[in-house]
Structure 1
Amino acid sequence: MMVPMREEPTRTTTPPTEPADPAATAATGPTAAAGTTRTAAPRTWAVRLVTLGIVLAALNLRPAITSLGALLEEVRDGLGMSGSVAGLLTSVPPLCFAVFGVMAPRLARRFGPSAVVCAGMAAIAAGLLVRPYAGNTAGFLAASALALAGIAVSNVLMPVIVKRWFPDRVGSMTGLYSMALALGTSLAAAVTVPVTDALGGNWQSGLASWALLAVAAVVPWLPLIRERGAAPGAPQPASEASAPAATGSAAQAPALRITRSRTAWALGVFFGLQATAAYITMGWMAQIYRDAGVSAGTAGLLLAVIMVMGVPLAFVIPRVATRLPHQGPVVLVLGACGLAGYAGLYLAPVGGAWAWALLLGVSNCAFPLALTMVGMRARSGAGVAQLSAFAQSVGYLISIPGPLLVGVLYQGTGGWGAPIALMVALMIPQMAVGWLAGRDRTVEEEAAAR
Structure 2
Amino acid sequence: MPAADTTASSRTESRPPTEERPAASGSAKYLGVLFAVAIAAAAFNLRPVVTSLGPLLKQVRDDLGMNPTLAGLLTAVPSLCFGLFGFAAPAAARRIGPIAVVTAGMGAITAGVLARSFAGGTAVFLLLTALALAGVAVSNVLLPVVIKRYFPDRVGPMIGLYSMALSAGTALAAAVTVPLTKSLGGDWRYGLGVWAVLGALALVLWLFVLIAKRERGERAGGAAAPVRLPITRSRTAWALAGYFGLQATGAYVVMGWMSQIFQDAGIGEGTTGVLLAVTMVIGVPVSFVLPNLAARRGDQRLFVVLLACCGIAGYAGLAIAPAGGAWLWAVLLGLSNCAFPLVLTMIGLRARSAGGVAQLSAFAQGIGYLVSIPGPILVGWLYGATGEWYWPLGFLSLLLVPQMLFGLRAARARHIEDEAVHPAERAAA
Matching residue of 1:279: 252
Which of 386, 404, 417 in structure 1 is aligned with 2:359? 386
Which of 104, 109, 115 in structure 1 is aligned with 2:100? 115
Which of 187, 190, 201 in structure 2 is aligned with 1:216? 201
Following superposition, the deviation at residue 223 of structure 1 comes to 2.4
Alignment of structure 1 residues 287-366 onto 2, 5 Å: 287-366=260-339
Matching residue of 2:220: 246
TM-aligned CA distance change 1:332 to 1:226, over 3 Å = same
Alignment of structure 1 residues 392-411 onto 2, 5 Å: 392-411=365-384
Separation of aligned partners in 2, 1:46 and 1:343: 48
Q: Is the 8 A contact 1:112 1:225 kept in 2?
A: no
Separation of aligned partners in 2, 1:369 and 1:162: 15
Separation of aligned partners in 2, 1:261 and 1:133: 45
Q: Secondary structure at the match of 1:252?
A: coil
Following superposition, the deviation at residue 81 of structure 1 comes to 0.4
Alignment of structure 1 residues 25-36 onto 2, 5 Å: 33=16, 36=21
TM-score normalised by length of structure 2: 0.92
Is 1:161 paired with 2:135? no
- The one-letter code matched in structure 1 to 2:120 is G
Is 1:188 paired with 2:188? no
Following superposition, the deviation at residue 355 of structure 1 comes to 0.5
Separation of aligned partners in 2, 1:260 and 1:406: 33
Relative to structure 2, which stretch is displaced further, 184-193 or 115-124?
115-124
| 1:367-397 per-position Cα deviation (integer Å, ceiling 9, x unaligned) | 0000000000000010001000000001000
Matching residue of 1:6: none
Following superposition, the deviation at residue 121 of structure 1 comes to 0.6
More helix by share: 2
Q: Is the 8 A contact 1:61 1:181 kept in 2?
A: yes
Which of 50, 60, 70 in structure 2 is aligned with 1:85? 70
TM-aligned CA distance change 1:51 to 1:30, over 3 Å = farther
- The one-letter code matched in structure 1 to 2:200 is V
Separation of aligned partners in 1, 2:286 and 2:12: 43
Is 1:376 paired with 2:349? yes
TM-aligned CA distance change 1:121 to 1:31, over 3 Å = farther
Matching residue of 2:8: none
Q: Secondary structure at the match of 2:99?
A: helix
Could you list the runs of 5+ residues in structure 2 that have no partner in the other structure? Answer: 1-10, 424-429
CA RMSD of aligned residues (A): 2.0
Separation of aligned partners in 1, 2:355 and 2:45: 25
Matching residue of 1:136: 121
Separation of aligned partners in 1, 2:46 and 2:110: 11
Separation of aligned partners in 2, 1:269 and 1:29: 56
Aligned length: 411
Separation of aligned partners in 2, 1:297 and 1:413: 26
Following superposition, the deviation at residue 72 of structure 1 comes to 0.4
Q: Is the 8 A contact 2:174 2:274 kept in 1?
A: yes
Which has the larger Rg? Answer: 2
Could you list the runs of 5+ residues in structure 1 that have no partner in the other structure? Answer: 1-27, 234-239
- The one-letter code matched in structure 1 to 2:126 is L
TM-aligned CA distance change 1:390 to 1:31, over 3 Å = farther
Separation of aligned partners in 1, 2:244 and 2:356: 17
Which of 390, 394, 398 in structure 2 is aligned with 1:425? 398
Q: Is the 8 A contact 2:218 2:225 kept in 1?
A: no
- The one-letter code matched in structure 1 to 2:340 is F
Is 1:416 paired with 2:389? yes
Separation of aligned partners in 1, 2:188 and 2:282: 26
Following superposition, the deviation at residue 33 of structure 1 comes to 4.4
- The one-letter code matched in structure 1 to 2:271 is T
Q: Is the 8 A contact 2:95 2:219 kept in 1?
A: no
Is 1:100 paired with 2:85? yes
Separation of aligned partners in 2, 1:144 and 1:188: 16
Matching residue of 1:434: 407
Separation of aligned partners in 2, 1:248 and 1:86: 47
Separation of aligned partners in 1, 2:222 and 2:407: 33
Q: Is the 8 A contact 1:406 1:419 kept in 2?
A: yes
Q: Secondary structure at the match of 2:267?
A: coil
Separation of aligned partners in 2, 1:71 and 1:125: 19
Separation of aligned partners in 2, 1:150 and 1:29: 51
Alignment of structure 1 residues 191-202 onto 2, 5 Å: 191-202=176-187
- The one-letter code matched in structure 2 to 1:300 is G
Separation of aligned partners in 2, 1:245 and 1:95: 29
Separation of aligned partners in 2, 1:31 and 1:200: 68
Q: Secondary structure at the match of 2:324?
A: coil
Matching residue of 2:427: none
Q: Is the 8 A contact 2:245 2:372 kept in 1?
A: yes
| 1:319-361 per-position Cα deviation (integer Å, ceiling 9, x unaligned) | 1101111101100000000001111111110000000111111
- The one-letter code matched in structure 2 to 1:43 is A
Following superposition, the deviation at residue 39 of structure 1 comes to 3.4
Following superposition, the deviation at residue 112 of structure 1 comes to 1.3
Separation of aligned partners in 2, 1:289 and 1:30: 72
